[in-house]
Amino acid sequence: MISTGFIRDTYAASRILKFSTDSLFIHVNYSHKIFDYIDNPNGFICNTMMRAYLQRNQPQNTIFLYKSMLKNNVCIDNYTFPLLVQASTVRLSEAEGKEFHNHVIQTGFGSDVYVKNTLINMYAVCRNLIDARKMFDESPVLDSVSWNSILAGYVQVGNVDEAKVIFDKMPMKNVIASNSMIVLLGRSGRMSEACQLFDEMMEKDVVSWTALISCYEQHGMYTQALDLFMQMCSNGISIDEVVAVSVLSACAHLLVVQTGESVHGLVIRVGFESYVNLQNALIHMYSTCADVMAAQRLFDTSSHLDQISWNSMISGYLKCDSLEQARELFDSMTEKDVVSWTTMISGYAQHDHFSETLALFQEMLHEDNKPDETTLVSVLSACTHLSALDQGKWIHAYIRKNGLKVNSILGTTLLDMYMKCGCVENALEVFNGMEEKGVSSWNALILGLAMNGQVERSLDMFQKMKECGVTPNEVTFVAVLGACRHMGLVDEGRSYFNAMTRHYNVEPNIKHYGCMVDLLARAGLLKEAETLIDSMPIAPDVATWGALLGACRKHGNSEMGERVGRKLLELQPDHDGFHVLLSNIYASKGNWDSVLDIRVAMTRQGVVKVPGCSMIEANGAVHEFLAGDKSHSQINEIEEMLAEMEKRLKIMGYAPDTDEVLLDIDEEEKESTLFRHSEKLAIAYGLIAIAPPTPIRIIKNLRICSDCHAAAKLISKAFDREIVVRDRHRFHHFKDGSCSCMEFW
């Protein structure tokens, strides 16, 4: 046509241009070259080229071509404006759409149904339902497209009431409209109405089934989703990618790998197993159901992998406790997004690899990746467990500097970190600054105050929580009973325990009973504590019996202690703490033969006593000390400080409590053993490495012994330093020779 000159014939050129634009395998630029050959393109030719640009997602070129049409006085018709309005809709540009609306009115096409429908749709998509509804109401002729467009607008903005009004008024309720309503009702949590509408539909297509199944899945109604899917298949409805993804998600949540495998087989038979979204859903389903090898096979054989595929595979390995494989896959990624980093960081935190959590977080920042709220929750959790206050404070400053939204989860984690590092005022500052305070936020505050010895303030916050209209849950009462336990408030504890069911309809669980047993036992009411255990409507766990055993040791009731200790060893023969407590009870009576029997039994059963371990953060690094530890790089300086501590304590009248060393050795050896407990080593290092007035903060994996407790009080006075020790039960704030626990621990 070019060589013969027929390309300049308007009709002939319009036919080859139409063929070119309709053929998706021909690039739009080629069509544009054909268009440029035409000397005087008419309205049909321009509309054809504009439609091509719109179909190839180049709406701006559609608009540029319209400007050229105006400049060259090309005839505009009722097919031109719908293309322009659609172009502005794709660009979400209501301002452009309004300009075209004005042109429509000026050129006299305002009454054209096709033009009006595209304008209704444009305003609806741009969320201007006022103008969309005005055009709809003023239209003299309404067809199914008009009704569907205005309904889609209300569905998009989630306006259920107006959508129902439109839907009920529709002269013919077509499948598209019904499907839109099912999606809206399901999204709004009105599942019964969505189901009713689905059942009333005379005609259903694959979208109808998919819409309701997806609604079930999104609302956690996974069994219903699978049941409806089975019904869909039995009715001979062909499945699509969307429904397959929803069903595989339901299988993952229900951990029904066999059903997931059946869906996988169906997907293969239908022929779209290579779709990347389905690949990701299958990888997620298999890895969640602990079949990580099947997930890996899919991952290895897939030719269509995206970022989600890699992240899903890493998540799958982490769920199967395969941290090394997850890290190996993570390191092999050529490109990592924030989800990749967060998944790996969260995996380390969830598996108690807290040092690795912080190290990987530092690496993430070094590579200029910005963490989100989920990342920071995991990192703050690691800081909490390591008592890494400096790093926790840095993260708090990072949140402020970058203007990150402190939602309920992040705020609660930050509050918990400060509380568990003994920084009560910082925690209160976070709590007071939170816009969203869920019940978990109040629970963390109440428990944190109690752990830090501020029991009265803790119980006041419980009252304030109720005044703010927040309903206490079972965790709240664990915190409240824990507060009573920390200060020996027996009467108050009984009152709160009884109020749980009477006023708040919260049935006591094993943790509540454990708190009450511990409260009574610590207060010396051992018989009442044992009676409560015997009357429990649920079987007591080892922690509940363990609380009673610990109290027997504390209050010197060796008869009950021996009985409870033997029972505990029957229930959990591999628990090192129970062996040690029972051994200590025998040793306190001088019954060394029984002590030896316990040690022989521990050796025979492979039970190893967990060594005392204390951690302290200094200059941004966390240092760990074991009892009798000599491995620290500054051990010589620590030894000198220990000697200085011992000298000052003896001047103040300190005498080692050698009863804490229940070994058949002489008193001098006992004193030496006592002074090398892990918390004393950590305190000595803190005195060297942390300049005053910064408090020395220590985290201990076991309960602090009475000798270390007494020594820490005197050290705080002798060196004029505040010392904060968090043991496995509570905080001890040592200052000026006293402790926040007021000797009830």
The pLDDT value given to residue 601: 74
Residue with tokens 């995996």: 347
- Three-state SS string over 14-42 comes to HHHHHHHHHCCCCCHHHHHHHHHHCCCCC
The pLDDT value given to residue 173: 87
Rounded Cα gap, residues 714 and 531, in angstroms: 39
Q: Which is nearest to 118 in space by CA: 158, 146, 77, 152?
A: 146
Q: What's this model's pTM, rounded to 2 decimal places?
A: 0.70
Pairing of strands 723-726, 696-700: parallel
Residues ≥6 apart with Cβ < 8 Å to 254 = 222, 223, 226
At 343-377, the pLDDT tens digits run 999 999 999 999 999 999 999 999 888 999 999 99
Cα 403–chain centre separation = 20
Rounded Cα gap, residues 649 and 298, in angstroms: 67
At 536-585, the pLDDT tens digits run 999 888 888 888 888 887 888 888 888 888 887 777 777 666 677 777 77
Residues 64/50, Cβ–Cβ less than 8 Å: no
Rounded Cα gap, residues 82 and 93, in angstroms: 15
At 694-717, the pLDDT tens digits run 999 998 888 888 888 999 999 999
Give residue 607's pLDDT band: very low, low, confident or very high (50, 70, 90): low
Give residue 474's pLDDT band: very low, low, confident or very high (50, 70, 90): very high
Residues ≥6 apart with Cβ < 8 Å to 739 = 453, 709, 712, 713, 732, 733
Rounded Cα gap, residues 671 and 681, in angstroms: 14
Give residue 664's pLDDT band: very low, low, confident or very high (50, 70, 90): very low
* Domain residue ranges in the chain: 437-495+502-507, 511-609, 613-739
The pLDDT value given to residue 669: 40
- Mean pLDDT over 294-301 rounds to 90
% of residues, the chain, pLDDT over 70: 96
Rounded Cα gap, residues 407 and 411, in angstroms: 6
- Three-state SS string over 51-70 comes to HHHHHCCCHHHHHHHHHHHH
- Mean pLDDT over 158-168 rounds to 91
H-helix or E-strand spanning residue 509: none
At 193-235, the pLDDT tens digits run 999 999 999 899 999 999 999 999 999 999 999 999 999 999 9
The pLDDT value given to residue 177: 92
Helix extents (H) in 108-190: 113-125, 129-138, 144-157, 160-169, 175-187
Copy the structure tokens of residue 228. Answer: 């409806």
| CA-derived radius of gyration, the chain | 36
Rounded Cα gap, residues 376 and 395, in angstroms: 7
Name the average pLDDT for the chain: 88
- Mean pLDDT over 3-18 rounds to 88
Q: Which is nearest to 437 in space by CA: 460, 408, 474, 405?
A: 408
Residue with tokens 């505009």: 76
- Mean pLDDT over 594-620 rounds to 77
**Using alpha carbons only, what angle is made at residue 239 by residues 236 and 241, rounded to the nearest 5 degrees?**
180
178 has a pLDDT exceeding 80: yes
Give residue 519's pLDDT band: very low, low, confident or very high (50, 70, 90): very high
Cα torsion for 655, 656, 662, 665, to the nearest 10°?
A: -90
Rounded Cα gap, residues 155 and 187, in angstroms: 10
Residues 732/704, Cβ–Cβ less than 8 Å: yes
- Mean pLDDT over 670-691 rounds to 83
Q: Of residues 465 and 40, which shows the higher confidence score? A: 465
Rounded Cα gap, residues 449 and 103, in angstroms: 67
Residues 218/185, Cβ–Cβ less than 8 Å: no
Task: Please give the span between the terminal C-alpha atoms of the chain, in angstroms, as a whole number.
Answer: 97
Please tell me the CATH superfamily of domain 511-609, with its number. Answer: Tetratricopeptide repeat domain (1.25.40.10)
At 120-131, the pLDDT tens digits run 989 988 999 999
Amino acid at 431: F
Q: Which is nearest to 45 in space by CA: 8, 88, 5, 71?
A: 8
The pLDDT value given to residue 595: 73
